[in-house]
């Protein structure tokens, strides 16, 4: 959520930002907020004036009663009663308008960074840089689910019976490789100075609306029936929510945390959930990084955070590239975002394995997270980034490590987490 002062003082800037995000249907909302805010301030001025007059006249009653000027005192009491009635009506209007303003402000997108490329959707995202040499072996690499099945490592049929489409069982060496990657990601981030955390996997609605836009919430979140609880779509939700309503001394910043969680997503409108693969599923596991910092330090952290993901995947011998998200592909709360994509030697193209975002003070403003400074209390900045989301990271490792004989090389950094195994071999041909 942006500061309403932006609409008050430069609503054309807010409108131009909306146009850059190709959300022209929201343009009238800016004018509605502007007019309502003007009325709210008028009402507040009237209430303050009436309260001052009411207090002044209340002070006169005692003197008039003392002087036995009963009629004059009763007249002032009547005036005070009328004032109280007017104040109550105005305060009701103030509260109603304030709620309307708040609800409308929640759908106004954050002001994007000047460096963000302008584009309508993800097809107009811009490649920034490649890391590692993409390769294609001289033998065929099977589809990742076929690789898993050759190890007796994937069972989607049983998951279909227990849970439906978009779920899966990982078994044996494949399950072990999956967990090894998660454990290595944890230690990798701890070694970068991040504090490890396992958060709640369910959060309340006021946290959900604090960390994401309504459109994202509708398309992503599973609600627990008859409870004010939602299953998290990423641990960022719980991690930022941890600081809801808190005042943090600026000397404690930055706060850098890495968190593990399972993640649950409805994937409304997603294609491919009927497929046998693991690319887009309802349930997965993730190692995340979250940072709270001073606003002026946010861009430095943003660049460090995406570079950590690149470094992580390169340590797995997986070639990656970074992709700058264009304006139309940015969620409403984001200031700037880039995706990290891993190379698929089977498809001979890159696919998304992580996303890094800086959100300015949007989440902090929604959740009331402030930092205490010498110049008063201010909203801080929040950032988040994927270390890995598995099974997507698992797909990258399987494809990049696949050998001609059907075995898969284990990246050296994962071998200690696999009991020293250097290679896993298929159970069936």
pLDDT of residue 270: 52
Strand-pair category, 370-373 with 247-249: parallel
pLDDT in tens, 35-62: 999 999 999 999 999 888 888 877 777 6
Domains and CATH numbers, the chain: 4-105 (1.10.287.40), 122-424 (3.30.930.10)
Task: Read off the pLDDT band of 267 (50, 70, 90).
Answer: confident
Residue 312 has pLDDT above 90, yes or no: yes
Which pLDDT belongs to residue 273?
Answer: 46
Confidence of residue 168 (pLDDT cuts 50, 70, 90): very high
* Phi and psi, residue 390, nearest 5°: -105, 135
Q: Specify burial of residue 334 (Cβ count, 10 A radius: 0-12, 13-18, 19+).
A: buried
pTM of the model as a whole: 0.89
Cis link prior to 254 (omega < 30° from 0)? yes
Q: What is the mean pLDDT of residues 338-358?
A: 96
Give the per-residue pLDDT at 203: 95
Alpha-carbon span 99 to 104, nearest angstrom = 9
Name the pLDDT band for 206 (thresholds 50, 70, 90).
Answer: very high
Pairing of strands 230-231, 202-203: antiparallel
Instruction: Identify the band that residue 274 occupies on the pLDDT scale cut at 50, 70 and 90.
Output: very low
- State the average pLDDT over residues 344-351: 95
Q: How confident is the model at residue 428 (pLDDT cuts 50, 70, 90)?
A: low
Instruction: Summarize pLDDT for 396-419 with one digit per residue, the tens.
Output: 999 999 999 999 999 999 999 999
């Amino acid at each position: 959520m942006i500061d309403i002062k932006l609409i008050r003082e430069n609503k054309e800037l807010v409108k131009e930002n909306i146009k850059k995000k190709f959300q022209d249907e929201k343009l009238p909302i800016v004018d509605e907020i502007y007019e309502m805010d003007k009325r709210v301030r008028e009402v507040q001025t009237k209430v303050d004036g009436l309260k001052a007059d009411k207090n002044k006249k209340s002070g006169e009653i005692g003197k008039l009663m003392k002087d036995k000027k009963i009629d004059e005192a009763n007249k002032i009491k009547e005036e005070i009663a009328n004032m109280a009635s007017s104040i109550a009506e105005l305060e009701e209007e103030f509260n109603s308008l304030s709620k309307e303003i708040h609800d409308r402000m929640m759908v106004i997108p954050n002001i994007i960074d000047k460096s963000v490329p302008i584009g309508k959707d993800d097809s107009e995202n811009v490649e920034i840089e490649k890391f590692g040499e993409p390769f294609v072996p001289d033998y065929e690499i099977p589809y990742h689910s076929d690789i898993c099945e050759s190890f007796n490592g994937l069972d989607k049929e049983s998951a279909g019976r227990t849970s439906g489409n978009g779920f899966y069982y990982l078994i044996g060496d494949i399950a072990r490789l999956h967990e090894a990657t998660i454990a290595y990601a944890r230690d990798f981030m701890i070694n970068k100075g991040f504090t490890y955390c396992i958060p709640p996997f369910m959060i309340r609605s006021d946290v959900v609306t604090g960390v994401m836009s309504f459109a994202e919430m509708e398309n992503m979140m599973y609600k627990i029936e008859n409870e004010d609880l939602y299953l998290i779509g990423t641990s960022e939700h719980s991690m930022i929510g941890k600081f809801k309503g808190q005042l943090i001394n600026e000397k404690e910043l930055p706060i850098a945390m890495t968190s593990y969680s399972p993640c649950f997503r409805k994937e409304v409108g997603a294609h491919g959930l009927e497929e046998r693969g693991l690319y887009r599923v309802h349930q997965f596991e993730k190692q995340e990084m979250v940072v709270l910092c001073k606003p002026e330090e946010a861009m430095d952290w943003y660049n460090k955070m995406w570079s950590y993901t690149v470094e992580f995947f390169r340590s797995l011998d997986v070639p990656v590239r970074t992709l700058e998200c264009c304006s139309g592909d940015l969620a409403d709360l984001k200031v700037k975002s880039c995706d990290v994509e891993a190379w698929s030697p089977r498809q001979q193209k890159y696919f998304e394995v992580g996303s890094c975002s800086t959100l300015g003070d949007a989440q902090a403003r929604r959740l009331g997270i402030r930092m205490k400074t010498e110049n008063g209390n201010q909203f801080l900045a929040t950032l988040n980034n994927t270390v890995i989301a598995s099974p997507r990271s698992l797909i990258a490792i399987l494809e990049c490590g696949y050998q001609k004989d059907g075995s898969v090389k284990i990246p050296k950094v994962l071998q200690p987490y696999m009991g020293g195994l250097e290679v896993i071999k298929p159970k069936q041909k």
